Amino acid sequence: MTAMLDIKKLEVAYGGIRAIKGIDFHVKEGELVTLIGANGAGKSSTLRALSGLVKPAGGTVTYKGKDITGVPSHALVGLGIALCPEGRGVFARLSVHENLLMGAYARNDKAQIAVDVDEIYTMIPRLKERNFQMAGTLSGGEQQMLAIGRAMLAQPKLLMLDEPSMGLAPLMVEKIFEIIRLIAKRNTTILLIEQNAQLALEHADRGYVLESGEITLQGDAKVLLADPRVKAAYLGG
Amino acid sequence: MSMDVLLQQIANGLVVGSVYALVALGYTMVYGILQLINFAHGEIVMIGALTALVTANGLLSAGLPSVLALIISIFVAMVVCAISGVLIERIAYRPLRNAPRLAPLITAIGVSILLQQIAILVFGRNYFSFPELIDKTPIQIGAITVTMNEIVIVVTSVALMAGLIWLVHRTKIGTAMRATAENQKVAGLMGIDINKIIGITFAIGSALGAVAGVMVASNYGQAHYYMGFMLGLKAFTAAVMGGIGNLWGAMIGGLILGLVENVGLIFVRGDYKDIFAFIVLVAVLIFRPQGLVGEKVAERA
Ligand SMILES: Nc1ncnc2c1ncn2[C@@H]1O[C@H](COP(=O)(O)OP(=O)(O)OP(=O)(O)O)[C@@H](O)[C@H]1O
Ligand SMILES: [Mg+2]
């Protein structure tokens, strides 16, 4: 079976500096794949290149057999790709409800959108309680929930999450990963970027370790979790 | 000072203020989405007035009744201005989207001068008299005197502003406009084509400017290539006063400016009328730099 998302020799450069130095990885349909790495390893740069936010300096991105390298981000949604950006990126001056509706911007099935919004409210009751509140007034964890719920309203086949646990208390991180688990169960393919290697590998099927713009380790998530090199570098010994 | 004089000046102020408000909305909408002060917006108003003038004269000489001539010429002016606004954004501002902020600002001034020069080439430096499309015989309401023309100006402005607020806050495209104003990158991730949304913003702002242009021209009975300059400057003042980027701010700022100017006329000679706008602007900038309605929502990480 060919991969749903296939990245070959991807390079990202800012000015003259190469942040991503020609990496290969893939995500198969139905998988939860994680890309882990320390601060500045190039995790977000990789996602930005995949989602059309920066033009790759080299390499190709293939999605469902189609070359999507450098396709602008607004055109990717229609193909079934959604990105939950680093730092959540909720629209602070829009209500929770309006944020969710913006997630469904590319869709025209009004009735089904209403059903899907309700489904998100059932899955994440906190959002329902705050549906007419401005998103900027939510806590960090609630904003992350909103960002994930919003991405889901695009009905993505492939959901990419950039550090959903960033800056959140352990209890909230648990809740976020619970939501991610629920989404994975509903046949959404997930590419999860994380610094929290332990949690990410516990939830993932496969993983890649990114270091200074290069992939240094890859494989089955359980195997990586037990790998002494991963343990030493990312799991606190 | 008598009460009657005051009431009369308030009425006059509302008429002028509602025109300022319409023009101020154009400034504030573009600023809200691009953080750009579109100095060419005043010239859009001028283009609207001159387009309507030509159209209305043509229609009147073809024998159309003045009401029909008015409606059609406003419509033509709105379309011409909307297209001009979209083209200006596409040609002059979009290539500078990621440039330092001074570059598009200077470009905007350049576009403003360019449009004036084009108007001179086409129309010359003459003042044209604008046909009387709505009855201007004075109507006495209690102590104040107004014209049907003035009533139509106020009513139309209020209707357009209500429509804009509805569009921006109650429709999908309006929500997308607010989302784009807040974060273009994330808006793109939602599938919003931000260039399209920015284009729509320019089109709407310019169409409102066109209506304002027709209002001013019909109220003073004249139009000329330079009419957008002072009007644009005052409307910009109104937008800053209300809190630039904020729709309510632009509307309230416009009304206040119109009122201050006209009530102020009771105390000083007409030659000094234009001073009030700038006194008010300076005062607001000193005491409330974010503007009268300028809001700040905490954004948490
Ligand atoms: N816009 C930019 N301009 C210049 N350099 C950048 C830019 N964005 C990222 N970089 C650099 O590229 C490298 C990778 O950054 P990136 O944001 O992809 O890291 P990351 O793995 O997501 O880190 P974090 O865990 O802190 O989010 C870093 O050295 C960073 O300084
Ligand atoms: Mg990052």
CB burial of B3-36 (b: ≥16 within 10 Å; e: otherwise) equals eeeeebbebbbbbbbbbbbbbbbbbbbbbbbbeb
Alpha-carbon gap: A107 to the closest alpha carbon of chain B (Å): 9
pLDDT for position B290: 87
Give CA angle at A119 (B190, A166), nearest 5°: 55
Tens of pLDDT, residue by residue over B109-131, are 999 999 999 999 999 999 999 99
Q: What is the ipTM of this complex?
A: 0.93
Percentage of residues in chain B with pLDDT exceeding 90? 85
Tens of pLDDT, residue by residue over A141-159, are 999 999 999 999 999 999 9
- Among partner residues A83, A93, A94, which is closest to B189 by beta-carbon distance? A83
Query: What is the phi/psi pair of residue A10, to 5°?
Result: -65, 130
Tens of pLDDT, residue by residue over B174-222, are 999 999 999 999 999 999 999 999 999 999 999 999 999 999 999 999 9
Q: Which of A213, A227, A236, A186 is nearest to A35 (CA)?
A: A213
Tens of pLDDT, residue by residue over B141-170, are 999 999 999 999 999 999 999 999 999 999
**Chain B hits for A93, Cβ within 8 Å:** 178, 182, 297
Q: Is A125 on the interface with B (CB under 8 A)?
A: no
Q: Is A69 helix (H, G, I), strand (E, B) or coil?
A: coil
CA distance B165 to B156: 14
The yes-or-no verdict on residue B299 having pLDDT over 70 is no
Q: Is A141 on the interface with B (CB under 8 A)?
A: no
Comparing alpha-carbon positions, the chain A residue that sits nearest to B188 is A74
The yes-or-no verdict on residue B298 having pLDDT over 50 is no
The yes-or-no verdict on residue B296 having pLDDT over 60 is no
How remote is the C-alpha of B237 from its chain's centroid?
11
**pLDDT category, A237, cuts 50, 70, 90?**
low
Q: Is A83 on the interface with B (CB under 8 A)?
A: yes
pTM: 0.93
Element (H, E) at A20: strand A17-27
User: Which of A71, A102, A117, A162 has the most B C-beta neighbours within 10 Å, making it the best mutation to test the interface with B?
Assistant: A102
Contact residues of ligand 1, CB 6 A cut-off: A 14, 19, 37, 39-45, 86, 195
**Chain B hits for A77, Cβ within 8 Å:** 189-191
**Chain A hits for B301, Cβ within 8 Å:** 87, 140, 167
**Chain B hits for A150, Cβ within 8 Å:** 190
> Residue B209 contacts by C-beta under 8 Å, 6 or more apart in sequence?
B22, B23, B26, B41, B44, B45, B48, B81, B85
- Nearest CA owner, ligand 1 atom 14: A42
Closest ligand relative to A19 C-alpha? 1
Of A45, A55, A211, the residue with max ligand 1 atoms within 8 A of its CB, to mutate for a pocket test, comes to: A45
